[in-house]
Amino acid sequence: MEENEQAPRLSIGVVRMLRTTLCMRPSVVLVRRLGIGCMFGVLPLSATASLLNRGTREQDSTSAEITRGVEQMRHLGLEVKNSAQGQRREPSMIAEFVQIVSSKIKEIWVATKGQSKRADQIQEGRSISREVTLQITCRAEETSETVKVLADDADGLEKEIDRFRI
pLDDT 10s digits, 93-146: 888 888 999 999 999 999 899 898 998 898 988 889 899 999 999 999 999 999
Backbone angles phi, psi at 42, to 5 degrees: -125, 130
Count of domains observed in the chain: 1
Is 130 part of a structural domain of the chain? no
Range of the domain at 54: 12-75
CB 30 within 8 A of CB 51: yes
Is 124 part of a structural domain of the chain? no
Q: Is the pTM of this model over 0.85?
A: no
Is 158 part of a structural domain of the chain? no
Is 62 part of a structural domain of the chain? yes
